[in-house]
Amino acid sequence: MMTRKEPQKIVEGIFAIHKPPTLTSADVLRNLQTHFNPSVIFSPWLRSERARLKGASASRHKINQLQVKLGHGGTLDPLATGVLIVGVGRGTKCLKRFLECTKTYECVVLFGAATDTCDAVGKVVSRAEYAHITRGKVEEALEKFRGKIMQKPPVFSALRVGGKRSYELARAGVKMPEIKAREVEVKELEMVDWMEGGCHGFQWPKEEVGCVEEVGEENDVGIRDVKDGNTKGGKGVKRRREGMDECVSETASELKRPKMEPEPVMSGALPLEEALIKSNALQEDPINPRTTQAEKSLPIKGNVPASSDSHLLQSQAKPPAACLRMTVTSGFYVRSLCHDLGLAVDSLGLMSSLIRYRQGDYELGRNVLEYEDLEKGENVWGPKVKGALEDFMTSEGWEAENASAEDEELELEGRGQARVKNWNKNRRRDNEHCERKHDRKGDKAAEI
């Protein structure tokens, strides 16, 4: 059995974890750190890094606050699930390659409505007829989105425009300069399931844009100017095929210390707090659980602004949905695919769910750590993470370094200094408290 005095192998590299819904990618990294910092597996890495920092004359605070160095290779929306690439130690320098590799996604597009973010957590900006949409019509439209296409990122994305994030400008109501289209490649795109209206649980958001922002929002998401008038079947609608969606940031994110601010996401979905609030809009009608408030307010025909009086008219059928599976290159936007597919079938569409099944060589159900394993203890997740990191190190030709006994002594010395510092701090605080208490008694005696 290995003792703490014997040299221990330092493991670092790349592994993948199955991100659950509602958590941001940064949340996942912070939760991983809470499990990795006190673990046996990463104790050698921490000891070696503390010794290195001490040798470099780093501050005591930096040494004592050191955590396992983690980063991720592409952000997923809070409400999305699937493969999240995680880099550990030296592995964080290899994350960029996972931004440039192909990814496989599975999404659900819900027809008949469009939102400002092109997904189910945004605000409804317009509705359109969907009774004419069939599986065959959607299959035919998908052909236009295969191969190399020019695309324009959506307004709600993490791309920088004039030095600021696009989604920040969009929320502030700032007039957005036009984002240039760029080429991406759709290697595979197929429909894996067709769901007729009333045969699924996907729903439109209930929250709608206000009358003042309506026109601008419709123009931003590429529907049309409401002043052009409504036309049956979406005719007269200006198509903007240029936007696709990937839900992946263009730069690798590296987490060196916990961050308290909301995490920007490239997909344009809102940060967790706002997204969860907006997701409440997907709740069913308490009177009729099979009918949502949004579905009650469908227009009879044409593209109708969300706040128009026409939305009070009911449609007899519920909107259909399609499950799509695709393999795409970097920079692809799934949300915009759903939006543009709705336009391609003379209606509207939004993304209701998203799963990243594969990124590079990591695939769900094959070599991806399940998030639930973290709560089962290091004896469960430890061998899986260690094995994945060792496999990556072997593939990269890295030789595992040793954390020596000297590193442990330096670590223990640093911990001892930290304990002494805390003890002195607490003693000074107690002395100050006693002095203040004594002063108050003296003031009362003087008053008497």
Tens digits of residue pLDDT in 170-196: 556 666 667 777 898 999 999 999 999
Pick 214 or 200 by higher pLDDT.
200
Q: How far is CA 200 from CA 195, 203, 327, 363, 445, in A?
A: 6, 9, 25, 27, 78
**pLDDT 10s digits, 392-431:** 999 999 998 887 555 555 555 555 555 555 556 666 776 7
Q: Where are the beta strands (DSSP E) in 196-263?
A: 253-255
Active site residue 340: no
Find the mean pLDDT for residues 17-28: 94
Q: How far is it, in rounded angstroms, from Cα 441 to Cα 2?
A: 59
Going by C-beta distance under 8 Å and a sequence separation of 6 or more, which residues neighbour residue 58? none
Q: What is the pLDDT of residue 99?
A: 87
**pTM for the full model?**
0.70
DSSP H/E element including 219: helix 211-220
User: Looking at the DSSP assignment, which residues form a beta bridge with residue 151?
Assistant: 182
Q: How far is CA 417 from CA 63, 95, 257, 350, 410, in A?
A: 11, 35, 22, 57, 10
Going by C-beta distance under 8 Å and a sequence separation of 6 or more, which residues neighbour residue 228? 236
8 has pLDDT over 70: yes
Structure tokens at 345: 């079938």
Q: Which amino acid is at 71?
A: G
Are the C-beta atoms of residues 325 and 66 closer than 8 Å to each other?
no
| Residue 151 pLDDT grade (very low, low, confident, very high; cuts 50, 70, 90) | confident
Q: What is the pLDDT of residue 328?
A: 96
Mean pLDDT highest for which of 128-132, 309-313, 400-404? 128-132
Pick 444 or 178 by higher pLDDT.
178
Cα 153 from chain centre = 16
Q: What is the CA radius of gyration of the chain?
A: 27
Mean pLDDT highest for which of 75-84, 136-145, 202-211? 136-145
Going by C-beta distance under 8 Å and a sequence separation of 6 or more, which residues neighbour residue 270? 78, 117, 121, 122, 278
Are the C-beta atoms of residues 363 and 147 closer than 8 Å to each other?
no
Q: Which of 77, 119, 245, 340 is catalytic?
A: 77
Going by C-beta distance under 8 Å and a sequence separation of 6 or more, which residues neighbour residue 45? 10, 11, 12, 68, 88, 89, 403
Of 153, 154, 146, give the one whose Cα is nearest residue 118.
Answer: 154
Q: How far is it, in rounded angstroms, from Cα 243 to Cα 117?
A: 12
Q: What is the pLDDT of residue 429?
A: 72
270 has pLDDT over 70: no
Helix, strand, coil percentages (3-state) for the chain, rounded to 5, are 40, 20, 40
- With tokens 């609030």, the residue in question is 277
Q: Is 404 exposed, middle or buried (0-12, 13-18, 19+ CB in 10 A)?
A: middle
| Residue 442 pLDDT grade (very low, low, confident, very high; cuts 50, 70, 90) | low
Q: How far is it, in rounded angstroms, from Cα 392 to Cα 386?
A: 10
